[in-house]
Amino acid sequence: MNVFFEEDGSFKVASIMTEAQGSIQVESASGKRSKVKANNVLMRFETPLAGFMDAANAEANSLDIDFLWECCTAPNFDGEFGFEAFAEEYYGRKPIPKEAAAVALKLHSAPVYFNRKGKGRYKAAPAEILKAALAGLEKKRLLAEKMAVFVAQLKAHSLPDELLQKLDMLMYEPDKNSFEYKTLDAAASDSHLTHLKLLQACGAIPSAHDFHLGAFLREHFAKGTDFAVHDISVNLDDLSLADAEAFSIDDSTTTEIDDAFSLVQLADGTMRVGIHISAPALGIALDSPLDKEVMQRLSTVYIPGNKITMLPEAAIRPFSLDAGEIKPVLSLYLHVNAELVITQRDTKVELIKIADNLRHDALEPFFNETTLAADSGHPYWAKLLYLFNLAESLEKARGKYDPTKPAQIDYNFYVVDGKVSIVGRRRGAPMDKLVAELMIEANNQWGALLATHQVPGLYRAQSGGKVYMTTKAEPHQGLGVAQYAWSTSPLRRAVDLINQRQIISVVQNTAPSYLANSDVLTTHMRNFEMTYQAYSEFQIRMERYWCLQYLLQENIQEVHATVWRENLVRLDTPPYMTKVYGLPEMKPGTRVSLQVQEVDTLLMELRTKFMTVLTDEPLSTEILTMEEGDIFMDEVSPTDDAKLDEAKVDAAIANNQNQTALS
């Protein structure tokens, strides 16, 4: 006796060896023995096993599924039915075993037509449901055919128009359930490429730079970077004109000039040093349409060769401290005695004439470490020397002066017509130090002014190596100051604009714009922290892009690098950190030569191969100190207070923060 049974969703036949309660020991035609549950047996028969399933499958293939369904809808088969009973009705006689098995096979293979109700039992699907199911199957079939055509086109590096319409979704926010994504995924898998690389091969991503920029704009500037039209009204009638003229020091690319300096020798021999900050708070009304737009942008976005300003040009120009113009400023005056000790501090809201805008590239040859001892002939040399000496005095007062510290390099990226140049500048150069220290002094003193008058502001604080923002005056250990309120870049940071409003209210003895325990102030602070971090990460990402592009642009095949730790190295040129897989174990500081094997600006990948140890080059002590200007991989990117401030106000913060960035 043989059995026709179901096992793991398929039908099988075997001969009965022994039979017990609830189970049967069987042997297949191949001789394999197994145990089958008795309730899995659908039919017993005496026909020989050899060729049985082949004959049953051949018979099943001859059966018309639509005709079977029509037979099942006959009145005598209304509801559930067993396959043997239906086979008898279909053949008009008692079916032979292979015919009964064929019916079971056919019914089981068409779940759309026949709903399974138990082992060997079925029910015909209702006509309406069957029609809908068949339509769905036909749709799937047509989609499968279309997908096959599209996959072939993609593999031939041709992008179908239908996928082109969903390019934004495919690149930036993939919907894994969509037809377009599944098509791209299938083609990428067949081509052994990532989705982005396949799209690039199809010409859908002509510019890796624009792809990265587009991802950022899509998230943070979905409505575009253009400003609405805003009227700027500035009433300067109540402001007096300062009795000094000021000058600024900035990079040649800076267009939002928000800080300047003045020096006046007083009758008693005291030098009065003025720190003058542009005052857009006088023209941007609280909760005005422009103010609301500013509080959405929260900061200027800096990327090599481009920037997205926090303020529209119409709001920048009335306040930018441009040479030859008289502009409103918030001024901090320092009265400095002959020993470079500050004896008095005063804050004023006033007008001042800007005499000059000094630029780094033109100024540095006349004012650097080697020109401090003798007049270089520059008309501002004496003033700059005095400010530099004051800056060193302020640095010593903060406890941060360390002339033995190894030199570190900052890097500026200049992009012209798609070509990048990466220029290193020694950090702590005289003109950088004087600007940084005077800005730190202003942010410290204006933070103290707010705290003394119990007017809330937004502060940067550092405790235990952690940098955070707060609405209370708390110490910043990295800078060595009792409080630090960003206030010196109001044209470029919303926090500074907010603090400037509060400072002006103290100076003019008016009600502050933001009250104590203000939910609005806290909300702006939290939004700024998240946005500023996102902008900073994007800037670092684009600097990494331009480092990789520099390797391609200069056709660099071999680079020198210094081992940072394990297989992490820092390239000399460009300033880029990367992992070298297969790098032998070496001590940090070891100099190595690497072969550039692959540069991918789209996926932001650099693949290099270790070549040799540079035994003829001395080990670098500088490498053991993290540099603000280094361009990091994503997994080791630091949080850097100075990154978006053009190394001005917060240059000193990086010295401490960057040390803990990799811990």
- Which range scores top for mean pLDDT: 1-10, 188-197, 648-657? 188-197
Q: 643 to each of 538, 638, 657, how far by Cα in Å?
A: 11, 10, 12
Cα–Cα distance measured from residue 472 to residue 475, given in angstroms and rounded to the nearest whole number: 10
Residue 352 CB coordination number (10 Å):
25
142 has pLDDT over 60: yes
* Model confidence pLDDT, tens digit, residues 505-521: 999 999 999 998 889 99
622 has pLDDT over 90: no
Domain borders along the chain are 2-125, 129-206, 241-533, 536-660
Which tokens in the block code for residue 569?
Answer: 């190295």
Cα–Cα distance measured from residue 440 to residue 345, given in angstroms and rounded to the nearest whole number: 14
Cα–Cα distance measured from residue 98 to residue 334, given in angstroms and rounded to the nearest whole number: 106
Which tokens in the block code for residue 127?
Answer: 């006509």
654 has pLDDT over 80: no
Long-range pairs of 602-606 with CB within 8 A, sequence gap ≥ 24: 602/196, 602/197, 602/200, 602/205, 602/208, 602/211, 603/194, 603/196, 603/197, 604/541, 604/544, 604/545, 604/548, 604/634, 606/548, 606/551, 606/576, 606/578
Cα–Cα distance measured from residue 578 to residue 358, given in angstroms and rounded to the nearest whole number: 37
- b/e per residue, 356-390, with b = 16+ CB within 10 A? ebbebeebbebbeeebeeeebebebbebbbbbbeb
47 has pLDDT over 60: yes
Q: Residue 76 has what pLDDT?
A: 62
Cα–Cα distance measured from residue 529 to residue 461, given in angstroms and rounded to the nearest whole number: 13
Span 290-310, mean pLDDT?
A: 93
Cα–Cα distance measured from residue 389 to residue 441, given in angstroms and rounded to the nearest whole number: 14
- Predicted confidence band at 642 (pLDDT cuts at 50, 70, 90)? very low
Strands 342-359 and 419-426, bridge-based pairing: unpaired
Cα–Cα distance measured from residue 414 to residue 432, given in angstroms and rounded to the nearest whole number: 19
196 has pLDDT over 50: yes
Whether residue 492 contacts residue 646, with contact meaning beta carbons closer than 8 Å, is answered with no
283 has pLDDT over 60: yes
* Model confidence pLDDT, tens digit, residues 366-414: 999 899 989 999 999 999 999 999 999 999 999 988 888 777 788 888 8
Strands 591-600 and 605-613, bridge-based pairing: antiparallel
- Span of 43-47, 126-130, 391-395 with lowest mean pLDDT: 126-130
- Span of 20-29, 207-216, 569-578, 647-656 with lowest mean pLDDT: 647-656
- Span of 21-30, 66-75, 384-393 with lowest mean pLDDT: 66-75
Helices 179-191 & 127-155, crossing angle to 10 degrees?
40
- Predicted confidence band at 112 (pLDDT cuts at 50, 70, 90)? confident
627 has pLDDT over 80: no
* Model confidence pLDDT, tens digit, residues 606-615: 999 999 998 7
Whether residue 203 contacts residue 159, with contact meaning beta carbons closer than 8 Å, is answered with yes
Helices 97-108 & 52-62, crossing angle to 10 degrees?
60
Q: Residue 176 has what pLDDT?
A: 93
Q: Residue 74 has what pLDDT?
A: 64
* Model confidence pLDDT, tens digit, residues 147-165: 999 999 999 999 999 999 9
Which tokens in the block code for residue 498?
Answer: 């907010």
Considering the chain, what is the average pLDDT of its residues? Answer: 87
Strands 241-250 and 342-359, bridge-based pairing: parallel
Which tokens in the block code for residue 27?
Answer: 């042997």
Span 72-89, mean pLDDT?
A: 79
Q: Which amino acid is at 207?
A: S
Q: Burial, 308: exposed, middle or buried (Cβ in 10 Å; 0-12, 13-18, 19+)?
A: middle
Query: Residue 12: beta bridge partners?
Result: 5
* Model confidence pLDDT, tens digit, residues 630-640: 333 332 222 33
Whether residue 348 contacts residue 241, with contact meaning beta carbons closer than 8 Å, is answered with no
660 has pLDDT over 80: no
Q: Which residues does 237 contact at the CB level (< 8 Å), separation at least 6?
A: none
Could you write out the three-class secondary structure of 433-490?
A: HHHHHHHHHHHHHHHHHHHHCCCCCCEEEEECCEEEEECCCCCECCCCECCCCCCCCC
- Which range scores top for mean pLDDT: 77-81, 257-261, 562-566? 257-261
List the beta strands (DSSP E) in 360-432. Answer: 409-416, 419-426
Q: Residue 650 has what pLDDT?
A: 38
Q: Residue 29 has what pLDDT?
A: 86
DSSP 290-345: HHHHHHHH-B-EEETTEEE-SS-HHHHTTTS--TT-EEEEEEEEEEE-TTS-EEEE
663 has pLDDT over 60: no
556 has pLDDT over 50: yes
625 has pLDDT over 60: no
- C-alpha R_g of the chain: 38
- Predicted confidence band at 542 (pLDDT cuts at 50, 70, 90)? very high
Location of structure tokens 């100075």: 642
Percent of the chain at pLDDT > 70 equals: 92
